[in-house]
Amino acid sequence: MKAKSIRTLLVDFSPFFFLLLFLSSGCQTQEPVKKYNHSFKPGEIWVDSDSVHINAHGGGILIVNDTYYWFGEHKTEGKRGNSAQVGVQCYSSKDLYNWKNEGVALAVSEDPNSDIVKGCVLERPKVIYNAVNQKFVMYFHLELKGKGYSAARVGIAVSDEVTGPYNFIRSLRPNAGQWPVDMTVEQRTSTVALADFPEWWTEEWMKAVHDGLFIRRDFEGGQMSRDMTLYVDDDGKAYHIFASEENLTLHIAELTDDYLDYTGKYIRVAPGGHNEAPAIFKKDGVYYMITSGCTGWAPNAARLHTAESIWGPWTEHPNPCVGDDSDLTFHSQSTYILPVSGKNNAFIFMADRWNPSNAIDGRYVWLPIQFENGLPVLKWLDEWTLDVFDDLKN
Ligand code: DGJ
């Protein structure tokens, strides 16, 4: 009796039931309204073509044909999101304002014995193209899981396709058993050691750092390698530029022709200067490198260094930022400098506004590099387009 009445009900109300089903399924398939970006808005949420905030922190860009590929750290929510839970994310764009998520280019490993096991620290990935082997080569700063920032290694991964998947090859400390070309015989053979200094940061200790105290300490096992970038020069030679020697001194190290190893030739830049976050570009034969000081996730004043040869000598100049918050690099830290395709002397300063308590919410600060009196200058802009480069006298 009860079963019969339910059947009757279903028959009587079936037209309404199907109408309801149709309407609700229609709502579900409706595409969300896509936001199209027409400009850069430094420090604001920057959505990709799926309307999701771009997740590519500490990143760099590779141009392939007419497409830009942005690689960066995939961060997750909360404090834990500062360690690598996913890997390196890749986005593509034709206009630099609108980015399509191309997925995970290099995935962290589930294998607890892998150097890049989930939970390691994997920062500042950069990708370059090696024409000799027709491979895309990725370098990144790697800290082994559970060891804080003590490992100070570089990781290398390779792919046949720009968007990946990249295969992790190995991690290492660069230039084991090699002296920097700019270290004198006296400095190389000095017997002054870390044990001679009960206290760090004294005048004597600073002098010893300048004279290669940490180079000698790490000579056998390889030099420390933290914040980093890659640079390919006009002649195809590639360089790994990284914070070494306990973040006290930058190294510029030449890579082999396949970009998979070091030739053993390297120099020290600003010994004891405490620089990290290196970003480099070349204009009219001069190399310009913007760096930051070392204050963890907190921003500080940017520094500028120039040289007429990648091998130096490198000269330090005042902070290239001007205006409000210039002493904090507009609350950001350099990661890469992008030469814009098809525009002459158009360079974009790319920086991160970190949010260590909710890593995924880190923002991007991109600003055009202007030249004044022959040196790069960075000025805050709330919003800008690539048209600004047409008005600059770079
Ligand atoms: C500053 C570096 O530039 C970042 O990449 C990151 O390593 C933080 N330090 C960690 O404190």
Closest C-alpha among 128, 158, 140 to residue 64: 128
Q: What is the mean pLDDT of residues 221-230?
A: 98
Q: How many CA atoms lie within 13 Å of 78's alpha carbon, on the beta-carbon side?
A: 2
Query: Which residues surround ligand 1 with Cβ inside 6 Å?
Result: 58, 123-124, 227, 276-277, 296-297, 333
24 pLDDT band, cuts 50/70/90, is very low
Q: What is the mean pLDDT of residues 118-132?
A: 98
Centre of ligand 1 to C-alpha 85, Å, is 17
Q: What is the mean pLDDT of residues 34-50?
A: 93
Centre of ligand 1 to C-alpha 333, Å, is 9
> Residue 215 in 3-state DSSP?
helix
Give the pLDDT score at 135. 98
Centre of ligand 1 to C-alpha 297, Å, is 6
Structure-block tokens of residue 158: 């390779």
Centre of ligand 1 to C-alpha 296, Å, is 5
Question: Bridge partners of 333?
Answer: 352
Question: Which of 124, 297, 300 should be mutated for ligand 1, with most atoms under 8 A from CB?
Answer: 297
Instruction: List the domains of the chain with CATH numbers.
Output: 52-172 (2.115.10.20)
- C-beta of residue 42 within 8 angstroms of C-beta of residue 366: yes
Is residue 68 scored above 50 in pLDDT?
Answer: yes
First-to-final CA distance of the chain: 88
Closest C-alpha among 291, 287, 284, 240 to residue 266: 240
* Tens digits of residue pLDDT in 337-383: 999 999 999 999 999 999 999 999 999 999 999 999 999 999 999 99
Centre of ligand 1 to C-alpha 226, Å, is 9
* Tens digits of residue pLDDT in 298-331: 999 999 999 999 999 999 999 999 999 999 999 9
Q: What is the mean pLDDT of residues 262-279?
A: 98
Measured CA to CA, the distance from residue 186 to residue 192 in angstroms comes to 11
Give the pLDDT score at 7. 46
Which atom of ligand 1 is found nearest the CA of 58? 5
Query: What is the residue with the minimal CA distance to atom 11 of ligand 1?
Result: 296
Give the pLDDT score at 33. 59
pTM of the predicted model, to two decimals?
A: 0.91
Query: What is the residue with the minimal CA distance to atom 10 of ligand 1?
Result: 296
User: pLDDT exceeding 70 applies to what percent of the chain?
Assistant: 91
DSSP state letter for 213: H
Give the pLDDT score at 14. 52
Centre of ligand 1 to C-alpha 289, Å, is 18
Residue 3 sits at φ, ψ, to 5 deg, of -60, -40
Cis peptide bond upstream of 165, omega within 30 = yes
- C-beta of residue 268 within 8 angstroms of C-beta of residue 180: yes
Give the pLDDT score at 32. 56
Q: What is the mean pLDDT of residues 228-240?
A: 98
Is residue 204 scored above 50 in pLDDT?
Answer: yes
Centre of ligand 1 to C-alpha 130, Å, is 28
Give the pLDDT score at 254. 98
Q: Which strands, in side-by-side order, build the sheet including 363-368?
A: 333-339, 347-353, 363-368
Q: Look-up: residue for tokens 């290694």?
A: 153
Q: Which strands, in side-by-side order, build the sheet including 238-244?
A: 228-232, 238-244, 249-255, 262-269
- C-beta of residue 36 within 8 angstroms of C-beta of residue 98: yes
Give the pLDDT score at 30. 60
Give the pLDDT score at 11. 45
176: number of Cβ within 10 Å: 14
Is residue 2 scored above 50 in pLDDT?
Answer: no
Give the pLDDT score at 257. 98
29 pLDDT band, cuts 50/70/90, is low
Q: What is the mean pLDDT of residues 250-269?
A: 98
Tell me whether residue 22 is exposed, middle or buried, using C-beta atoms within 10 angstroms of its C-beta: 0 to 12, 13 to 18, 19 or more. exposed
* Tens digits of residue pLDDT in 52-63: 999 999 999 999
Centre of ligand 1 to C-alpha 213, Å, is 23
Give the pLDDT score at 394. 76
Which has the higher per-residue pLDDT, 16 or 180? 180
Contacts for 10 with CB less than 8 Å, ≥ 6 apart: 17
Considering only CA atoms, give the Rg of the chain. Answer: 25
Query: What is the residue with the minimal CA distance to atom 1 of ligand 1?
Result: 296
Centre of ligand 1 to C-alpha 20, Å, is 53
Contacts for 292 with CB less than 8 Å, ≥ 6 apart: 275, 276, 277, 299, 300, 301, 302, 303, 329, 333, 334
Query: What is the residue with the minimal CA distance to atom 9 of ligand 1?
Result: 296
User: pLDDT exceeding 90 applies to what percent of the chain?
Assistant: 90
Give the pLDDT score at 55. 98
Query: What is the residue with the minimal CA distance to atom 3 of ligand 1?
Result: 277
Structure-block tokens of residue 213: 């105290």
Which atom of ligand 1 is found nearest the CA of 294? 1
Question: Which of 73, 79, 82, 123 should be mutated for ligand 1, with most atoms under 8 A from CB?
Answer: 123
Q: Look-up: residue for tokens 């991690």?
A: 171
Measured CA to CA, the distance from residue 122 to residue 153 in angstroms comes to 10
Exposure string for 101-129, b = 16+ CB within 10 A, e = fewer: bbebbbbbbeeeeebbbbebbbbbbbbbb
